[in-house]
Amino acid sequence: MDPALEGLQPESLWRHVETLARLSRGSPGDPALADHLLAAAKALRAEAQLDRAGNLLIRKPPSPGREKARSLCVHCPVDAPRAARGQASERESSAGSASLSRNADFLGLSDPFRSPRELAALAVVLSLLEEGGIEHGPLELLVTFAGQDGASSLGGLDPGSLRSRAILDLSFDEEGALCVGCAGFVETSAVWRIEREEPRRGSVGAEIRVSGLRGGDASRDIDKCRGNAIKILARALARLQELGGRVSAVSAPGAWNEIPREATALLVFPRSLPRRAEPALKKLAEGLREELGPAESAPSLRLVPSEEALKPIFRRHLQKKILRATMALPFGALRASPREPRRVEASANVVSISTEEDALCLRTIQRSSVSSLLSDLAESVQGIFLLSGAKLRPGLERPAWRADPRSRLLRAARAASEAVYGKRTEEKTTHRTLECAVLSERFRGFEMVSIGPAVSEAGSPRETIDVRSVERLWRTILEILKRVE
């Protein structure tokens, strides 16, 4: 047993975590994980199928005496690898094998492709499959995979493939609480046709880089006053534009659900780097430190010479339109819930920007648990883009999800949680968009509840899980299985 896992219970579950941490998973389509799960099912002669979309469904017969109980589906979503989502640094991406580390009760994973929460959820699925002394009705174990663009393999799952009408999802990240609702989102993207011209003879090139930001998950961390590298870059470029700077390329290849922490642009100046450029950027950086406070300790704006920048530049009027539109875009937590003031009800994120030969693409996401508010927010962003001369590009959409408060699964989950924790269970709505939203859209009328362990800095390379909470999660799941009738 890995030293980081010694003494943890249940031992069989943590052995699965150790094995899963060793699996190679270098891209969203890497089959190693699915192959491992299929092999485990085959060894136990369990019914298993992997569909064309990549969804893995394993069925386990009921335990003796529970043949007439309702069938329950336990759902484990697997995110796109962190490195594919742009979260991992070069150091992390080039690191060797993954290693587990433990500080008191918090378990981390030094790996650019997986997260500790994901390993724990997959270990739960394998333990449910292998353990013979568990009391349960007919059981379906569903593992789904998300791509780099946020699209889930659930979109290709045949609605008739599930026999269960109740789904226990394992993607929530607050221990002891039941997630009974989540926000939906709309992806709004714009494309500008780039008109270019040759820079003047004798011009000099430069690169400006925004770095040093914390980034984070755009649903969990959107209310933490963190900086968005694309928004900051636009402000910097607007100042350099006044000094004669002309853009030839912009890049911030962020992931769909992340706050971008780095962005770069290539510029051309008529003769030499203006003396006023550095003071202007320094003043902006000082203002950012005051604006962002302790949320961002070291935002950096760096301008350096670059021969690569010496290529055709954006026409002046187009550059102004793009910068004004980018600065006008909403970002951050925009509204709190009137019923739960501590919960974000609406937010917006500027996700990525990229320059092609004749086009500039800018991607944004709006999120809310209220459908009318979500539509209004998306339409306001569309208006900004259209007024700046951009064309809209269709993107992903997910509806909000709310559990039926009268569902039998929710009653069973309440009773199970109270049996484990000895207190009334808190029921929460999250600003994250869980795959329950996809499930509710494709499987109408299904009962759903989401649970999970305690997670710190979820979705980031610094993510850790509370190992004691995983043990309590396991006990809660066993209690739920007993109570599903």
Q: What is the domain-level CATH number for residue 253?
A: 3.30.70.360
- The whole-angstrom separation of Cα 460 and Cα 27 is 17
Tell whether 194 and 322 lie within a shared domain.
yes
194 plus 178 within the same structural domain: no
User: Among the listed ranges 230-239, 375-384, 407-416, 455-464, which one has the minimum average pLDDT value?
Assistant: 455-464
Closest by alpha carbon to 401, among 78, 231, 225, 171? Answer: 171
Residue 477 has phi, psi (to 5 degrees) of: -65, -40
User: Are 168 and 434 in contact, with CB atoms under 8 Å apart?
Assistant: no
Number of domains in the chain: 2
Note down the domain range covering 177. Answer: 3-183+400-483
Considering the domain architecture, whether residues 26 and 46 belong to the same structural domain is answered as yes
List beta partners, residue 189. 363, 393
Q: What does each C-alpha distance from 357 to 26, 165, 311 come to in angstroms?
A: 29, 49, 11
d(CA 305, CA 59): 60
Average pLDDT value over all residues in the chain? 90
Do 223 and 164 lie in a common domain? no
User: 432 near 347, Cβ under 8 Å?
Assistant: no
Per-residue pLDDT band for 159 (boundaries 50, 70, 90) equals: confident
pLDDT, tens digit, 9 for 90 and up, residues 300-351: 999 999 999 999 999 999 999 999 999 999 999 999 989 888 889 999 999 9
Q: Do residues 41 and 151 share a domain? A: yes
- pLDDT tens-digit profile of 193-221? 999 999 999 999 999 999 999 888 898 89
Predicted TM-score of the model (pTM): 0.84
Estimate to the nearest angstrom the gap between the alpha carbon of 214 and the chain centroid. 15
Do residues 327 and 256 both lie within one domain? yes
The DSSP output letter for 152 is B
- The answer to whether residues 206 and 179 belong to one domain is no
The candidate with the shortest Cα–Cα distance to 203, out of 288, 269, 152, is: 269
Please indicate, yes or no, whether residues 391 and 449 belong to a single structural domain of this protein. no
Given 398, 417, 443, which residue is the final one in a domain?
398
Q: Mark whether 172 and 217 lie in a shared domain.
A: no
